[in-house]
Amino acid sequence: MNRVVHPIEEESYRRLRARLDTSRLPPLTRAVVERVIHSAADLAYADDLVMDEAELVAAHAALHAGAPVVVDVEMVGAGITRRETVCRLKDAVAGPGLTRSAHGIRLAHEQVGPGALWVIGNAPTALEELLTLDARPALVIGLPVGFVGAVESKAALRESGLPAVSNVSEKGGSAVASAALNALLYHPTSVEETS
């Protein structure tokens, strides 16, 4: 992907790296950590994020091979650049024991089937619903924000054994969730490009 990096972004990364040494991290983990920190200007994400490099490598390959990207809300989709996303929230309806966000995830699952990358940055109930489905995801970026259900839904994601990017705290949100996906999207696809 040919992406022109703006000088402001270059300077932001220079300052980030001056304050936090990320050089010890594996390449995709480093890319995700740095882009999330960059999106939130919050260095604490370095110790808050949880991910596995091997899972990121597989997800990176799936993403660049054209796997669908599903988002829980349009705001997450708006933050993902240079890639179409699926969001079914507009078609969703709340019902007894089912939030609109959860129903949107059900509808998206029916549409895309297995192998998608799921990016959840807003609703813990969307993440909870995804965990009840047989989604067989390439990756779940589970970074919903909030004081009710966010920590618990992210813990459940980690316990599920699904390939995932999550964090331990209540922090999260649309910007950081889309940033995590963009890190994989922007990262070079060949070893030669990373040298």
Give the CATH number for residue 67. 3.40.50.10230
Encode pLDDT of 19-74 as tens digits.
999 999 999 999 999 999 999 999 999 999 999 999 999 999 999 999 999 999 99
- What pLDDT score does 1 carry? 54
Q: For residue 194, is it within any domain?
A: no
Give a yes or no: residue 2 inside a domain. no
Residue 46 lies in a domain: yes
Which pLDDT score is estimated for 109?
A: 97
Q: Is residue 85 in a domain? A: yes
CB burial string 4-41: b at 16+ within 10 A, e below: eeeeeeeeebeebeeeeeeeebeebbbbbbbbbbbbbe
**Residue 193 placed within a domain:** no
Per-residue confidence (pLDDT) for residue 33, from 0 to 100: 97
Q: Are 124 and 153 in contact (CB under 8 A)?
A: yes
In whole angstroms, how large is the CA radius of gyration of the chain? 16
The segments of the chain whose pLDDT lies below 70 read 1-2, 190-195
Given this model, what pLDDT does residue 10 score?
Answer: 86
Q: Evaluate whether residue 94 is within a structural domain.
A: yes
Query: Looking at the annotation, which residues are catalytic?
Result: 38
Instruction: Count the domains in the chain.
Output: 1
Q: Is residue 191 part of a domain?
A: no
What pLDDT does residue 192 have?
Answer: 38
Domain, as residue range, for 115 = 7-186
Count of other CB atoms within 10 angstroms of residue 170: 16
CA atoms within 13 A on the CB side of 45: 28
Has residue 162 been placed in a domain?
A: yes
